[in-house]
Amino acid sequence: MNNDEFRHWGHRVIDWVADYLKNVEQYPVASRVKPGDIRSRLPAEPPANAEPFDSILRDVEEIILPGITHWQSPNFFGYFPSNNSGPSILGELLAAGLGVQGMLWATSPACTELETHVLDWLVDLLGLPQPFKSSSTGGGVIQDSASSATLCAILAARERATAGRSNAAGSDGSLVAYASSQAHSSVEKGVRIAGLGSDNLRLIDVDEKFAMRPDRLDEAIRADRAAGRRPAFVCATVGTTSSTAIDPVRAIGEICREHGLWLHVDGAMAGTACLCPEFHYLHDGLELADSYAFNPHKWMFTNFDCDCFFVADRGQLIRTLSILPEYLRNQATESGAVIDYRDWQIPLGRRFRALKLWFVLRSFGVEGLRARVRRHIELAHQFAAWVQDDPRFELAAPVPLSLVCFRHRDGDTANQQLLERLNASGRLLLTHTRLDGKLTLRLSIGQTNTESRHVEEAWRAIQETASGS
Amino acid sequence: MNNDEFRHWGHRVIDWVADYLKNVEQYPVASRVKPGDIRSRLPAEPPANAEPFDSILRDVEEIILPGITHWQSPNFFGYFPSNNSGPSILGELLAAGLGVQGMLWATSPACTELETHVLDWLVDLLGLPQPFKSSSTGGGVIQDSASSATLCAILAARERATAGRSNAAGSDGSLVAYASSQAHSSVEKGVRIAGLGSDNLRLIDVDEKFAMRPDRLDEAIRADRAAGRRPAFVCATVGTTSSTAIDPVRAIGEICREHGLWLHVDGAMAGTACLCPEFHYLHDGLELADSYAFNPHKWMFTNFDCDCFFVADRGQLIRTLSILPEYLRNQATESGAVIDYRDWQIPLGRRFRALKLWFVLRSFGVEGLRARVRRHIELAHQFAAWVQDDPRFELAAPVPLSLVCFRHRDGDTANQQLLERLNASGRLLLTHTRLDGKLTLRLSIGQTNTESRHVEEAWRAIQETASGS
C-alpha cells in the first residue's frame, strides 16, 4: 500500500467507521455467532501474495461484523461502558500514524510532556489532592487499564513495606492486602502476580449499601498484626463493578495512616463523575490515599485503552519499577529534568495515548463533558424510578451514578430467563451480578450516544419480556 | 463532533498522516526541544467549552510536531525499529471505531477468534513448534509488549515451580531465574515484579558472540541447587537488544529439561526474520521451550502495540492468571468451548489488536513481508562491509540480522562525540550500547521505508562527521 493508496483507503475506512457509528443502533447488540463460527470462515493459511484492500474490507463486513458485540451501540447497557467518540478515534489514528515510542522522554518529548500536562489538568478537574500533580511530589501516568494501575500500586506498597527487599529478605509470605468483598477481581489478580498470594488478600465485609465497613477493616488489620503478619496494602473502591458502591475513603484512609498501609483508590468508572463539582464528595478523604486511578476509557469518551493513574509520591513508584540498561541511557534521563514513563508502568514501550485524551478534553470542552455525564446519571435515576414504580421489580442497590441494579421479584430463575431473552432479542444488552446472594440485572448507562429514547426503549423491552408478550 | 463532522475531520486526519509519512524523511530525526519546551506552550487549564477541531490540528502541527522524534523516518536507525504501515494504521483506526472489548470471547467473539486464528498462522509461518498452536496444547495471544510476555512467562514458571502456592507456602525467596548478561532489562523487571527479587536473577556469562554460555548456565543451576535454592526459570534471547546475539536455544533447552526449569525464548526483534525459511535456524531447539514471544510491532510493519506470545501448555498460563468474578460469568466461558484472553494476560480489558495484524499479513502477503525483511538484512550486511573497509572503524559484534554494532577505533570519547554530532545533525538517528566494556554505536535497520539510499546517506554522514568535515 503506497502513500496514495493509504490516502484512498484511509478515506474509505473513515467512511466505514462513520457509517458504522451512524447505523450501529440498528444491529442486534450482542453477537449471535456460536463458538468457532468466525474461525470457520477464515482460510487455513495466510495469503502468499498481497491481497487488494477492498477484499479485506469486504471480509470485515461479512466475516468480522457478525462476530462483533456492539459496545458502541447506544443500546449497550452491559458491564461498564467502554465508550469512544470522534475526537478520540482521530487521536488514536494520529498516534498510530506518528508511530512514536514514549518509553523515555528522549524517545519523543511531546509524548511525555503532553501526558504529564493533561494529567495535571485532570487533578484539578476531578478535584484530586495536589500531591497527585507532577509539579508537587507525585504525578499521573496513562496505563492501559485499572488492572495494571492496581498492580503498580500493590508493587509500590510491597516495596515500601519491605524497604525495597521484596526478595528473599522481604517476601516471607507475611504481607497482607485488603479490599472489600465487592472489589474488582484485578485486586486479587494483582496480589497474586506480586507474589503476596491470594491467601493473603482479606476481603472485608460490606454494609447494606455494599460499601466496605471500616470497623471490619480495622479489626482485620489488628488481627493480622497480632498474628505476626505485615498489613501492607488496602484498595478502596469508589464505584464497585457490581453496584457502584462507594467505599468510605476518609475512614479507610485514617486507618491506613494509623497502621502505615498503602491506600490505593480505584475509581475506574466513578472517577469521571467528578468532572462535575457536585460529585466531588465521592473523593472525600482522597488526600489520605497514596494512589488513585480512573478510566477515561470507560465513561469519558476516550477509546480503550486509557487509564489515568496518579501517585502522591512518585519516588516510591519509580524505585519500584526502574531499571536502566546501557542502551536506554541518555543525557535527558541523567539530568533528572525529565520524566521517563517506562519507570511508571509494567511494560517498557508505550503509545502516544495522551493525544486522544487531549483531543477529547478540547473537543468536548469541560462543560460538554459535564453535560453528558450529568445526562447519563439523570437517565439512570429515571430508569430507577420506573423500576420502583413497577410492583414486579425491585432495586437491588442504591443508584449513586449511572448504574441501576434491579431484579424481578420472582427470583433467580425468572431473572436468568429475563436476561437471556432480552439479550437474545438484540434490542439491548444487559449483564448481571449477584447481590445479597441474588441474581441481579445491571443496566449501565454510559455509551456516548445513549439518549432518553434508548433508555425508554430498554425499559419497554424489559417490561414486555417480563410479561411474556 | 457529530457524525458528519467526524467524517470531514477524519478525511483531514488521514490526509495529515499521509502527508506526514510522505514528508517524514525531511524532518530532523531526533526532536530538538529542551525539557519543558512543549509544556510551556500548553495552556494551564483545559478549555471550558468545545474548541474547533482545526485549532486542535493546528496545535498538533505547531506544538506537538517539534517534540516528535520521528520513529517512522527511514533515517531512524536507533534502538530497535517500531515500524508501521498503511494497513496497520487502518487496522488500528478500525479497532478504535468498533470500540469493542475482547476480554472474554462473549464480549466480542470475532476479536478472540481472529486473534487465535492469526496467531496459529504465525506458528506455521515462523516455523514454531506445533504445541504453540491453539489446536494443540498451547496457543498464542497478543500482548502489549515483550516485557509483559516475559512477565507472564515468569509468573507461569513461578506457579509451576510452587504448584500454585506462590504465597506463604511457596514464596520463600528460594526461586531462582536465569538469563544472559545481555538479556533485556524486562527480565529483571519481571523477576522483580513477580516477587522473586532481583537478587535471585543470575546473569549468565556470554561467549565472544555475546550469546549465553550453556556450560555456565548449567554450573549456575547446579550451584543454586546445591545451596538449597529452587531454579525455576530461564530466559533465552534470540536477538539481544545490544547486538542481536543468538542464545543457543537447543543447548539451553536441554539443560532446562534436565532440571525441570521453564524456558522462555525472547525473540522480540529477531522473530520476524523467521518469516523467511533460511532464518528458521534461529529457532533451533524451540520445541524445548515452554513459551516464546516476538514483536510484529518492531519489524513486521504493525504499529505498536503488538507482541505475539505463545505457550506450549495453555493450562499453565490460565491457571496462573485466571480469576472469574460473578459479573464476568457467561455460558460460553462455562462451556469450555472458547478462549477468554483475559486469562492469558495481566490486564482485564483488551483492544481488537488482531485486526491490524490481519490487515498487514493480507496486504503485504507472506512473500511481500519476506522481501522487505530480506532487503533490510541485505542493507545491514552492506553497511557492515563498508565499516570493515574503513580503517577508522571496526565491527563490534557479528551481524546475523539487521543490526550493525560498530565503533570508531579512537575510543569511547570519540564515539560519544560522533554519536552526539550525528544525532544533532538531524540527518539520522543512532543509539548506542556497551560491548566488551566499550562504547559501541548501533545502526538498526527496520523502518518500513528504509531503502539503500538512506543507508548510503547514513554511512556518508558517519564518514563525514568522523572526518570533522
Q: pLDDT by residue (tens digit) across A80-103? A: 999 999 999 999 999 999 999 999
What CA–CA distances, in Å, run from B96 to A14, A82, A448, B54? 11, 11, 14, 21
Q: Do residue A363 and residue B114 have CB atoms under 8 angstroms apart?
A: no
> Where do the domains of chain B lie?
3-69, 100-351, 372-466
Identify the residue whose cell numbers are 462451556.
B335
Chain B residues whose beta carbon lies within 8 Å of the beta carbon of residue A351: 304-305
10 Å CB burial of residue A319 (0-12, 13-18, 19+) is middle
- Contact A449/B at CB under 8 A: no
| Contacts for B156 with CB less than 8 Å, ≥ 6 apart | B262, B290, B291, B311, B316, B317, B320
Q: Do residue A121 and residue B355 have CB atoms under 8 angstroms apart?
A: no
Per-residue confidence (pLDDT) for residue B469, from 0 to 100: 55
Per-residue confidence (pLDDT) for residue B165, from 0 to 100: 66
Nearest to A101 among B7, B71, B148 (CB): B71
pLDDT (tens digit, 9 = 90+) per residue, B243-271? Answer: 999 999 999 999 999 999 999 999 999 99
All cell numbers assigned to A334: 541523567
Specify the higher pLDDT residue, B99 or B198: B99
Question: How far, in whole angstroms, is CA A154 from its chain's centroid?
Answer: 17
- Contact A240/B at CB under 8 A: no
Q: Do residue A166 and residue B195 have CB atoms under 8 angstroms apart?
A: yes
Q: Do residue B100 and residue A361 have CB atoms under 8 angstroms apart?
A: no
Chain B residues whose beta carbon lies within 8 Å of the beta carbon of residue A407: none
* Mean pLDDT computed over B354-362: 98
Chain B residues whose beta carbon lies within 8 Å of the beta carbon of residue A20: 97-98
Q: Do residue B84 and residue A66 have CB atoms under 8 angstroms apart?
A: no
Percent of chain B's residues with pLDDT above 70: 98
Residue A177 to chain B, least CA–CA distance (Å): 12
**Helices A86-98, B3-23: inter-axial angle, 10-degree rounding:** 10
Chain A residues whose beta carbon lies within 8 Å of the beta carbon of residue B328: 185
- Contact A215/B at CB under 8 A: no
- Terminal-to-terminal C-alpha distance of chain A: 53
Mutate to test the interface with A, among B19, B39, B210, B343 (most CBs of A within 10 A): B39
- Contact A43/B at CB under 8 A: no
**Residues counted in chain A:** 469
All cell numbers assigned to B198: 532481583
Per-residue confidence (pLDDT) for residue B171, from 0 to 100: 58
Q: Do residue B68 and residue A169 have CB atoms under 8 angstroms apart?
A: no
Longest CA–CA separation in chain B, Å = 71
- The neighbour count for residue A199, using CB atoms within 10 Å, is 14
Residue B250 to chain A, least CA–CA distance (Å): 27
Q: Answer for the pair B243, B182: CB distance below 8 angstroms, yes or no.
A: yes
Q: Which A residues, 106 through 135, put their C-beta within 8 Å of a C-beta on chain B? A: 106-111, 113-114, 116-118, 121, 124-125
Per-residue confidence (pLDDT) for residue A38, from 0 to 100: 97
Q: Do residue B35 and residue A338 have CB atoms under 8 angstroms apart?
A: yes
Alpha-carbon distance of B423 to B432, in angstroms, equals 11
* Count of CA atoms in the C-beta half-sphere (13 A) of B194: 38
Whether residue A350 is predicted with pLDDT greater than 50 in this model: the reply is yes
Mutate to test the interface with B, among A76, A326, A360 (most CBs of B within 10 A): A326
Per-residue confidence (pLDDT) for residue A230, from 0 to 100: 95
Nearest to A50 among B109, B304, B363 (CB): B363
**Helices A86-98, B86-98: inter-axial angle, 10-degree rounding:** 160
Nearest to A13 by CA among A131, A69, A112, A96: A96
What sections of B260-294 are H helices per DSSP?
none
DSSP A365-417: HHHHHHHHHHHHHHHHHHHHHHHHH-TTEEE-S--SSSEEEEEETT-HHHHHH
Residue A414 to chain B, least CA–CA distance (Å): 17
Alpha-carbon distance of B262 to B68, in angstroms, equals 40
Chain A residues whose beta carbon lies within 8 Å of the beta carbon of residue B39: 113, 116-117
Specify the higher pLDDT residue, A170 or A74: A74
Mutate to test the interface with A, among B9, B41, B57, B166 (most CBs of A within 10 A): B166
10 Å CB burial of residue A324 (0-12, 13-18, 19+) is middle
Q: Do residue A45 and residue B124 have CB atoms under 8 angstroms apart?
A: yes
User: Looking at residue A429, what DSSP letter applies?
Assistant: B
Nearest to B99 among A56, A84, A348 (CB): A84
All cell numbers assigned to A202: 482479606
Identify the residue whose cell numbers are 502513500.
A3
Q: Global pTM?
A: 0.97
Residue A395 to chain B, least CA–CA distance (Å): 17
pLDDT (tens digit, 9 = 90+) per residue, A369-424? Answer: 999 999 999 999 999 999 999 999 999 999 999 999 999 999 999 999 999 999 99
Provide the pLDDT confidence category of residue A469 given band limits of 50, 70 and 90. Answer: low
Which 3 state secondary structure label does DSSP give A36?
A: coil
All cell numbers assigned to B261: 526449569
Mutate to test the interface with B, among A20, A21, A167 (most CBs of B within 10 A): A167
pLDDT (tens digit, 9 = 90+) per residue, B383-431? Answer: 999 999 999 999 999 999 999 999 999 999 999 999 999 999 999 999 9
Q: Answer for the pair A298, A272: CB distance below 8 angstroms, yes or no.
A: yes
**Residues counted in chain B:** 469
Chains A, B: CB contacts within 8 A come to 496
pLDDT (tens digit, 9 = 90+) per residue, A276-297? Answer: 999 999 999 999 999 999 999 9
User: Looking at residue B367, what DSSP letter applies?
Assistant: H
pLDDT (tens digit, 9 = 90+) per residue, A422-445? Answer: 999 999 999 999 999 999 999 999
Per-residue confidence (pLDDT) for residue B168, from 0 to 100: 44
Nearest to A346 among B90, B323, B346 (CB): B346
Mutate to test the interface with B, among A5, A11, A13 (most CBs of B within 10 A): A13
Identify the residue whose cell numbers are 536441554.
B254
Chain A residues whose beta carbon lies within 8 Å of the beta carbon of residue B7: 14-15, 18
Q: Do residue B15 and residue A21 have CB atoms under 8 angstroms apart?
A: no
Per-residue confidence (pLDDT) for residue B324, from 0 to 100: 83
Q: What is the mean pLDDT of chain A?
A: 96
- Which amino acid would we find at residue A170? G
Nearest to A39 among B67, B107, B117 (CB): B117
Per-residue confidence (pLDDT) for residue A171, from 0 to 100: 59
Whether residue A169 is predicted with pLDDT greater than 50 in this model: the reply is no
Whether residue A167 is predicted with pLDDT greater than 80 in this model: the reply is no
Per-residue confidence (pLDDT) for residue A94, from 0 to 100: 98
pLDDT (tens digit, 9 = 90+) per residue, B190-211? Answer: 999 999 988 999 999 999 999 9
Specify the higher pLDDT residue, B403 or B327: B403
Nearest to B48 among A94, A110, A366 (CB): A366
Nearest to A233 by CA among A283, A293, A191, A269: A191
Q: Which fold has domain A100-351?
A: Aspartate Aminotransferase; domain 2 (3.40.640)
Alpha-carbon distance of B249 to A40, in angstroms, equals 35
pLDDT (tens digit, 9 = 90+) per residue, A36-68? Answer: 999 999 999 999 999 999 999 999 999 999 999
User: Looking at residue B61, what DSSP letter applies?
Assistant: I
Alpha-carbon distance of A369 to B187, in angstroms, equals 42
Question: How far, in whole angstroms, is CA B437 from its chain's centroid?
Answer: 25
- Which amino acid would we find at residue B87? P
Per-residue confidence (pLDDT) for residue B169, from 0 to 100: 41
Alpha-carbon distance of A452 to B262, in angstroms, equals 55
Q: Do residue A93 and residue B94 have CB atoms under 8 angstroms apart?
A: no
Q: What is the mean pLDDT of chain B?
A: 96
Per-residue confidence (pLDDT) for residue B331, from 0 to 100: 86
Identify the residue whose cell numbers are 536507533.
B78
Class of CATH domain B3-69 = mainly alpha
Whether residue A166 is predicted with pLDDT greater than 80 in this model: the reply is no
Alpha-carbon torsion A321, A322, A326, A328, what sign?
A: positive
- Contact B89/A at CB under 8 A: yes
CA gyration radius, chain B: 23
Q: Which fold has domain B372-466?
A: Aspartate Aminotransferase, domain 1 (3.90.1150)
* Mean pLDDT computed over B64-80: 98
- The neighbour count for residue A61, using CB atoms within 10 Å, is 12
10 Å CB burial of residue A45 (0-12, 13-18, 19+) is exposed
- Contact A3/B at CB under 8 A: yes
- Contact B215/A at CB under 8 A: no
- Terminal-to-terminal C-alpha distance of chain B: 53
Alpha-carbon distance of B294 to B266, in angstroms, equals 7
What CA–CA distances, in Å, run from B463 to B383, B393, B441? 12, 10, 13
Percent of chain A's residues with pLDDT above 90: 93
- The neighbour count for residue B307, using CB atoms within 10 Å, is 26
Per-residue confidence (pLDDT) for residue B166, from 0 to 100: 58
Which 3 state secondary structure label does DSSP give A451?
A: coil
Chain A residues whose beta carbon lies within 8 Å of the beta carbon of residue B48: 365-367
- Which amino acid would we find at residue A52? P
Nearest to A175 by CA among A136, A124, A212, A227: A227
Q: Do residue B195 and residue A194 have CB atoms under 8 angstroms apart?
A: yes
- The neighbour count for residue B190, using CB atoms within 10 Å, is 27
What sections of B24-161 are H helices per DSSP?
37-40, 53-59, 86-98, 109-125, 146-161
Mutate to test the interface with B, among A2, A7, A15, A301 (most CBs of B within 10 A): A7
